[in-house]
Structure 1
């Protein structure tokens, strides 16, 4: 095969062709997949597909975890967490990517703020069908007065993005200022237009949680999910002692040029390159961004989705009521064009849903639910295939040689774990 790339493409250097020297396997966790109905050959083909994503030379590091019937079949990482980039080959300063390396989830964080909001509704503290203004009185006027929490969860709140320039770390770390900006801004009438709320929706949901519980959002997350699920990371931001282990993010792939650059900047309130640089700053890790800076390992994300796959149960604890999980997974309307993402999308009240014949989680994934993150971060569960899966990557590329291997990997997972038949 000829090693070809579009001129100007930013790719990492691979010095270990068989990848054994840059692969970390959590052998203590991985089971014999035959116990859950998968042959070693099927598992090998899935892992080879993951390796092909790395071989695209876009991601300096990636980690992957797959559970079947609640058992860990694969929990592995490839590459480097730090010290390797498209313009920085491996060297003495490089830090290996491990299966338990924390990674910023970016927009995949939205699934967590959604679950926290649904949990608060489960306790009776809030009503998802009530207007946001019931809990945040200043969230009114300018088309927002009657916008409900459910509409915010489904990206129909009418306030999809901050004004340009409001996406830097200094602004985002000032929680009260962010809430004030959103409350002052005009909005389209809630419920009428689907437009992905990249950052803004999470702040409003988080503010409702803060006001109703009278606790910091991270404290509510700890009590509701992190501690019951036994997570080490799985929180917004990252403490100082963990930062030597965190995976750094890098601009990779083909240069992002107009018109894609304009679209990315509209969604993110910053340029593509600025978002990546911002994510590596201590300032970013110091703050709480409900829609965008949860840190977790691949195994933790798989564990989170397995809990929902098991109707809210983890071990001997009922973390969420089955009825809450059912509402989380229920489609909120039909397939529609998302006016921000410019793609046909299916959402529930907080999650991105799979589609048939093909969707964000691969072919024939109509029963799947989860969330993706900037860029090529995946976490999802598939009840038809009895899977909970996560893929965390550190190369931030909109276009590049990784796209075909990524699509093939999603297809391989679905094919090996149940086929592509409708109604598995």
Structure 2
């Protein structure tokens, strides 16, 4: 009997927008030099346990590439990447050219940039050029209107300036390079609350305010100041705001992944950034974004360099014999300012210092039992942090940009594995 013909159905797009995972995962893994973990009080099994968590996260398909670098007592015990820097996205065809991500591939750090910006501000405080208790208007007089007269630099760093909403007219690729336009919009903006009253994450506005202060005080843009005063003395290749046009092609592509964001999450993101999650990711791949100075979100780095930057802070401000910060500067920078309040913008409890997110006793982005840990999250699954108790400094970078997705607990499990793999030996500085 002849069977009836079954009509061919159209190809249904993957609702989770996942990467194509190769059958041979080892073929997309890159490794850099690592010391024997036993020399710094860890074990080979523990390091592999961390890495297995990263591989499991990659297999979930939400991240086209993942880099991780872990330093213990200043020594690199894990420095690896997995996946592709380009060519394995939701819109890419299976036969499109794929470029392997290596440990040297630079990635956009998004909001992890805020930790770098905060460090620049604290360096100016250390040198007596500003004081974080000063009012912003002392350095930007035209800022003192519409109820912003009493906002302090410290309140901007601690997300308590009452200005979490970035002016929507600034969320264009052309506006990113227009300093005067950005400044005018911030000066004209009205805060949503009295300064110091409400804890509300400043996704972009705070960075722009701090960047302008740096410019006013040093007569340099924050990119040049960061480069000359911190990065160049320590020999960093990346970790500055944006890259040169010649380097744009080296930066890994970011991909929208995971289920589409729905209200209320999508509403919150649109209100916070002025664009949708998909638009934000697409903009971040544009050369105009990748060459911009956006103090809250355009640092380009590698997991190794992000780990090394936090090692500088964990070690009290001195790295490889070069002192940048005084220990007291670091202590002030990571002093708690929020006491685990529910953030009005993010809608979950966060502990903040003057520019850093802090760990927690039972649960935090950096794993449990991390009260002395400080670092910062980057959109959406990027983390840089230092754990003084365990003598760790870590960079964890991903190029997939899901908002809420099934594998999020696998991602949270990676910092937890890192913390559990290193016994406590140090003490908070």
If the length of structure 2 is used for normalisation, what is the TM-score?
0.93
Q: Does 1:146 align with 2:153?
A: no
Residue-pair matches, total: 413
* Inter-partner Cα distance in structure 1 for 2:269 and 2:14: 21
* Inter-partner Cα distance in structure 2 for 1:64 and 1:223: 27
Asked whether the 8 Å contact 1:105–1:292 carries over to 2, the reply is yes
Question: 2:396 is paired with a residue of what secondary structure?
Answer: strand
Counterpart of 2:17 in structure 1 is: 10
Question: 2:395 is paired with a residue of what secondary structure?
Answer: strand
1:379 to 384, 387, 398: 384
Render the CA deviation track for 1:35-91: whole Å, top value 9, x for unaligned: 011111111101101111111101111111000010000111100001111232554
Counterpart of 2:10 in structure 1 is: none
Counterpart of 1:203 in structure 2 is: 208
Where do 1:334-413 residues align within 5 Å? 334-413=339-418
Larger Rg: 2
2:45 to 34, 41, 48: 41
* Inter-partner Cα distance in structure 2 for 1:100 and 1:402: 26
Where do 1:144-183 residues align within 5 Å? 144-183=148-187
* Inter-partner Cα distance in structure 2 for 1:162 and 1:303: 30
If the length of structure 1 is used for normalisation, what is the TM-score?
0.95
* Inter-partner Cα distance in structure 2 for 1:166 and 1:176: 11
* Inter-partner Cα distance in structure 2 for 1:88 and 1:128: 47
Measured after TM superposition, the shift of residue 128 of structure 1 is: 0.9
Asked whether the 8 Å contact 2:114–2:355 carries over to 1, the reply is yes
Asked whether the 8 Å contact 2:248–2:291 carries over to 1, the reply is no
Question: 2:234 is paired with a residue of what secondary structure?
Answer: coil
Q: Does 1:23 align with 2:42?
A: no
Asked whether the 8 Å contact 2:85–2:99 carries over to 1, the reply is yes
Question: 1:361 is paired with a residue of what secondary structure?
Answer: coil
- Segments of structure 2 that go 5 or more residues without pairing to the other structure are 1-12
Asked whether the 8 Å contact 1:16–1:22 carries over to 2, the reply is no
- Segments of structure 1 that go 5 or more residues without pairing to the other structure are 1-5
* Inter-partner Cα distance in structure 1 for 2:405 and 2:339: 31
Question: 2:345 is paired with a residue of what secondary structure?
Answer: coil
Where do 1:3-402 residues align within 5 Å? 8-17=15-24, 19-26=25-32, 29-88=33-92, 91=95, 93-187=97-191, 188-402=193-407
The CA RMSD measured in Å over matched residues stands at 1.6
Question: 1:227 is paired with a residue of what secondary structure?
Answer: helix
Render the CA deviation track for 1:14-46: whole Å, top value 9, x for unaligned: 1234x11000001xx311111011111111101
Measured after TM superposition, the shift of residue 241 of structure 1 is: 2.1
